[in-house]
Amino acid sequence: MKPRITVIGSSNTDMVIQLDRIPHPGETLLGGEFVMAPGGKGANQAVAAARAGGNICFVAKVGKDLFGEQTLHNLKRDKIDVRHISRDPAAPSGVALIFVARNGENSIAVASGANAQLSPEDILRARSIIKASSLLVMQLETPQKTVEAAASLALRFGVRVILNPAPAVRLSRALLKQVSILTPNETEAQLLTGIRADSQVTAAKAAQKLHAQGVETVVLTLGSKGAYVSAPGCRSLVPGFKVKAVDTTAAGDVFNGALAVALSEDRPLLESVRFASAAAAISVTRMGAQPSAPRRKEIDQFLRQV
């Protein structure tokens, strides 16, 4: 039996319009192409991990609506354990409205809905699943008090925590001390450290600040430049892969899901980051959040060819 990975986080339905460029404030652009697809950072990471070969349980909250029904159907199709996805009778399922430019850049607005109702009590109901997991993966599209409750529970059970601090918000030192691996991008690292981490040198400085706040391992993603890894006995830039980007919407989520899978298989940290980078590189060549997440066979094949 493969080690279980528990993902706690958000689930949204993404409504995506692809345009030549992102509209300016007050501007209307015609001629876009529309697609609706499952998304939400938590669900994206759960799906990415499942497709990369992980044994995944997802803890989340959706509404009692058609979007919620479709979410459960989609997750089950990827063989994700959905026993701890609760249905909120009052709040609607989360929705994200996304503009994607032809060069792959995006602009996103989110109505959290039921995601904002995921509570520490929901986490306690899932404690047996968390206790039996090798890794706990989280993001920040659900209430921070819920994230903190889950991190505390994982620490008590000796379960490693991967926290993707997105969207960018300030985090308490108490939470950071409970995180095994923090995976910020450049924007998130700057908010947490005050350092613009846009190169290997500045990424190293930002990582040191995060270590000083209690984080054991930092994997700072630098877009096409790769990922800077800072851990006890390891300081290294893992180069990115050159691909033609179509949509970068869920690249970070795919990276985190694949990283969790590689680590759950006891791969070395740098090898795990390279595996995650390959999965993310494949994802940006495709439209959509969850639809872009590659399967294990594709990731292995990509790595054999580079």
Active site residue 14: no
224 band by pLDDT with thresholds 50, 70 and 90: confident
Catalytic residue among 198, 253, 266, 300: 253
pLDDT for the residue 1: 65
What does the alpha-carbon distance between residue 11 and residue 60 come to, in Å, rounded to a whole number?
Answer: 7
The proportion of the chain whose per-residue pLDDT surpasses 90, expressed as a percent, equals 87
Q: Residues 42, 142: contact at Cβ < 8 Å?
A: yes
Instruction: Using the CB atoms, write b or e for 60-93: b if 16+ within 10 Å.
Output: bbbbebebbeebbebbeebebbbebbbebeebbb
Model-level pTM? 0.93
pLDDT for the residue 255: 98
- The one-letter code for the residue type at 173 is R
The β-bridge partners of 257 are none
Q: What is the pLDDT of residues 51-70, one digit of tens each?
A: 999 999 999 999 999 999 99
β-strands 226-231, 217-221 pairing: antiparallel
β-strands 4-8, 133-138 pairing: parallel
pLDDT for the residue 54: 97
4-11+40-93+115-305: CATH topology is UDP-N-acetylmuramoyl-L-alanine:D-glutamate ligase (3.40.1190)
Instruction: Using the CB atoms, write b or e for 205-234: b if 16+ within 10 Å.
Output: ebbebbbebebbbbbbbbbebbbbbbbeee
Q: In the predicted model, what is the mean pLDDT of residues 238-264?
A: 94
Q: In the predicted model, what is the mean pLDDT of residues 129-151?
A: 97
Query: In the chain, what are the domain boundaries?
Result: 4-11+40-93+115-305
Q: In the predicted model, what is the mean pLDDT of residues 209-216?
A: 96
What does the alpha-carbon distance between residue 163 and residue 125 come to, in Å, rounded to a whole number?
Answer: 21
